[in-house]
Amino acid sequence: MADNRDMSAYWDRTGRVWVEQQELLDRLFAPIAEAVVDRADLRNGEHVLDVGCGAGATTFAAAWRVGPSGRAVGVDISAPLVELARRRAGEAGLEGVTFQLADAQTEAFPPGFDALVSRFGVMFFPDPVAAFVNLRRALKPGGRLAFACWRGPEDNPISEVPLRAAAPFLTELPAFERNAPGRFGFADPDRVRGVLAESGWRDVAIEALDDPTPVSADELLTMSVRIGPLNPILSALDEAAREPIRAAVARALEPYIENGVARMNSACWLASAKA
């Protein structure tokens, strides 16, 4: 089985940035979280597991669906995000909601969940077949799976703009890899079908999901240099080296902004299956 230690270290660093930007991310991806829990067809009193729960937004959406007699468990590999999710649940006084710091690829979850959901949390497994075998064991027979994952960069063209703008200033840039752990790891729907079939899921269905939630020009720049793949590179530079890169990225994003607003479509797949 592939080792997940590198991914754990990555999400410890990245999670700290996502904690900082939690409100922006929750607002931007709220329609996608709602689409996922809708597809899962959650019912009052059910137990649901949210994989890659981050700061808890999808877990909270699921908790509202299963009600006070149900149970929603969020699991994530990032300690900073799990800590924030727990704090948010406590501040909101939510009952029946818990968060667990664990690697969903290998964690021995107690069986008996009715449904499993995920908003952008399943593309990072080093061994996705092993992960989905493990997750299937957590569900009751006939239990339901619903998740959102990104379509490819060709459907999300704005994702490559910051990297192209930064390229003249850097000796090496991160690459968006298909069929490998990362944002676009599940961009190929045939790969997703294959992973789910090989790991024992049935009734697999995949459809396009588009979310054109608008963001401000400042929010788009924040996403490009703070949340995106440029962040670890820029964080390692001093301010004098960072500033011309930020300025170049801001200029490159201008064509996507009108009257101070960017209508940035999030092009995803909405997938479902049964255990």
Domain residue ranges of the chain, discontinuous segments joined by +? 5-153+179-214+265-274
pLDDT of residue 171: 87
| 26-40 average pLDDT score | 97
Q: What's the sign of the alpha-carbon dihedral 56, 10, 125, 158?
A: positive
pLDDT of residue 95: 86
pLDDT of residue 4: 57
Residue 11 pLDDT > 50: yes
What tokens does 97 get?
């909601």
Asked whether the beta carbons of 146 and 205 are under 8 A apart, the reply is no
Following DSSP, what letter does each residue of 86-131 receive, concatenated? HHHHHHHT-SSEEEEE--TTT--PPS-EEEEEEES-SS--SSHHHH
| Class (C level, CATH) for 5-153+179-214+265-274 | alpha beta
User: Can you give the C-alpha Rg of the chain in angstroms?
Assistant: 19
Q: What percent of the chain has pLDDT over 70?
A: 97
Q: What is the pLDDT of residues 119-165, one digit of tens each?
A: 999 999 999 999 999 999 999 999 999 999 999 999 999 999 999 99
